[in-house]
Amino acid sequence: MNETTQLRLIERACRSIEDLDPPPNLTALAKSAGLSPAHFQRVFVAAVGVSPKAYGVAHRQRRLRQALHKAPRVTDAIYDAGYAASSVAYRDSSALGMPPGRYRKGGANECIRYCVTRCSLGPLLVAVTERGVCAVEFVDETGAPASLRKRFPNAKLEAARPRDLRWIRDVVSTVDSPPGPRAELPLDIRGTAFQTRVWRTLARIPYGQTLSYSEVARRIRSPNSTRAVAAACAANALAVVVPCHRVVGSNGKLTGYRWGLERKRALLKKEGLVVAENGVVSRPSRQTQ
C-alpha cells in the first residue's frame, strides 16, 4: 500500500470518527481500511499525531466548545457535541480547563491571578490558577490584561497573592538562571490533544539542546505533522517553561518565535549555545568552552 492510498484511508477514517454516532472503534476502522488493528493504529498515529480514540475525544471536545457558545443549556451542548452521557463530557472537559458550565460563560467565576515582573529579557507576565501556572508571556503592564482577556474573556482577574510568589520566582529563575534543584512547577496547560502532546515533548528537550520541528514530529510518532508541530509551538502560552525556543528549522537556523527572534536568540545563548550571524544554532566546540 503506497503513501497516497494510506493517507486516503486515514482521511476516510477521520470522517467516520467525526460523522458517525457513536464513532467506530479501532477494530471497525481497521477492518474498513483492510488492515490489522495494530497496523492501522500505527499508520493513523503517524499521519494524524494521535490515536483514533484521542482524535475522537479531541473532535468531541472541539464540538463541545462550539456548542457551549450556541446551545441554550449546557446539557443541550453536551448532547449536540455527540456525547451519550454528561458524565463523559465532564471527564473530557480537561482541555477546556474548567467545567463546561463555566466555559460556556467565558470562564465566569474562574479566578486568574497575575503579576508583571521583571526578568533579564524585559517585562514578564506570569498568571496562575489554583491548578498551577497558566500563562508566561513577555508582556508589559499595559498589555497583560488584554492578553489574559483574550484567553479567559469572562474570568475574574486579580493581583497575584503572596502564596503565588514562589511559583512566580521559579518562573523568573527558569528564564534567568541555569537549571537547578527547583521543585517542578505545577502547570495548568490548556490545549488540544495534539498540542498537549507536542508541549510535553518540548518540555523534555534538555537544557542547552535543540530539536527541529521535524524531529519533534518524529518523537511524537507523527512524522508528517511538521507544520502542525510549528503551529502548536506558536500557540504555546507558557514561554520558556514549555521551551518552544529550543525548536529550530531543519537547517539548524532560528525560526519564528511568538515573542520575537531576539528573545529566542538570547534564551539559546543563555543556555550556552552559539548563534551565528546567519542564525544557525550550534553547540560550542571544546576549544571555545
What is the structure's pLDDT at 214?
93
pLDDT of the residue at 15? 83
Single-letter amino acid, residue 178: P
d(CA 219, CA 226): 11
The SS3 call for residue 61 is helix
pLDDT recorded at residue 181: 46
C-alpha grid cell, residue 88 = 463523559
Q: Is 181 exposed, middle or buried (0-12, 13-18, 19+ CB in 10 A)?
A: exposed
Annotated catalytic residue, options 115, 134, 233, 244: 244
**How do residues 84-99 score in pLDDT, each as one tens digit?**
555 545 555 554 555 5
Helix, strand, coil % (nearest 5) of the chain?
50, 15, 35
Q: How many residues does the chain have?
A: 289
3-class state of residue 158 by DSSP: strand
pLDDT at 151: 82
Give the residues of the chain that fall short of pLDDT 50. 79, 88, 95, 104-105, 181, 289
Sorted by where each starts, the structural domains of the chain and their CATH numbers stand as: 3-104 (1.10.10.60), 111-176 (3.30.160.70), 193-288 (1.10.10.10)
115 is known as an active-site residue:
no
Q: Which residues pair with 113 in a beta bridge?
A: 128, 158
